[in-house]
Chain A
Amino acid sequence: MSFITILFYAVSALMIFTAVRTVTAVHVFRSALYLAATLSLVAVQYLLLGAEFVAVVQLLVYVGAVIVLIIFAVMLTAQLGDERISQTNRLALPAALGCGAVFYLMGWALTATDWSKITPAPADPALQGASGNLQAVGLSLLSTYVYPFEIVGLILFTALVGAVLIARKDLEASASTLRPRPEALEGPPKGGEVPQ
């Protein structure tokens, strides 16, 4: 066995271990850290597969941004850090059996399939003349896949605006610049009228 083969098996074993700890850890914060480890190991697998661009994006977006968001949510919701509250429901045994069945079925189906019979995809024009994966993916993003690239940017922008709108403290606060706060009124507020 060469070094890179041993590396593949070591990374895979570590990945399965951290993934199992992600879904079974008692403390949610620890679970988030195990998730960060799993996502970094997936990036290592991308490197082994020769997809450097995807590996870098994986590290930037997942380990850099999504994990920070998850830890933010854990810190904002105080109840999550409490170890005395059970973090799992009573479905652990049926869920484990079901997931084992799903894994068995998928493993059987994909080892029984002869993947070499698939007709090969057309060669990407960006791969000609590009020196390495990073340049090829970068060129392809702005030539062959430019429309999906722009649309995905629009989707991301829309999602960010929606997230800000959902997570805002209260939707009434935006109108408070136009009308006085309820506690400033004398007596109970009457249907949002502006008092003179």
Chain B
Amino acid sequence: MIPGVTLDHYLLLSSALFSIGLFGVLTRRNAVGVLMGLELMLNAVNLNLVAFNGLLHRSALGGQMLSLFTITIAAAEATVGLALVVSLFRARRSVRVDEADLLKG
């Protein structure tokens, strides 16, 4: 317990982090930048879960467990995403998300 810091502080902090990540996803032009914004958003959610666990239900472990699983799935997602970026770069010599229109009819 931190004196003077409530659950609302952590929730506001994580929603700020989420909004910043969303801004990155919307404005970045290259795929790696979009992935970095996505990682920020995932971390905001994890911070939320751990804050609920640590400040609301101290006798349970569900929040920490869920954030551990989220971290693992996020690592898998980053691996596949970056493999796709490398593959896209080989195919088009570009990682711009607005130029990746191979499937456009």
Query: Which residues of A are interface residues toward B (Cβ below 8 A)?
Result: 1-2, 4-5, 8, 12, 15-16, 19-20, 22-23, 28, 31-32, 35, 38-39, 42, 45-46, 48-51, 53-54, 57-58, 61-62, 65-66, 69-70, 72-74, 76-77, 79-80, 86-89, 91-92, 95-96, 98-100, 102-103, 106-107, 110-111, 115-116, 118, 120-124, 126-127, 133, 136-137, 140-141, 144-145, 148, 152, 155-156, 158-160, 162-164, 166-167, 169
Contact = CB atoms under 8 A, between A and B. Distances in A.
Interface of B: 2-5, 7-13, 15-24, 26-30, 32-33, 35-37, 39-40, 43, 46-47, 50-51, 53-62, 64-65, 67-69, 71-80, 82-87, 89-90, 93-95, 98
B95 A79 contact: yes
A152 B73 contact: yes
Contacts of A69: 78-79, 82
A137 B65 contact: yes
A62 B65 contact: no
The binding surface of chain B is classed by DSSP as helix
B72 A102 contact: no
B99 to A, nearest CB: 11
Contact of B78 (A4, A42, A66, A133): A66
Contacts of B15: 103, 106-107, 110
Contacts of B28: 23, 87-89
The binding surface of chain A is classed by DSSP as helix
B75 A65 contact: yes
Given A5-B3, A121-B60, A140-B61, A42 B46 contact: yes
Contacts of B51: 49
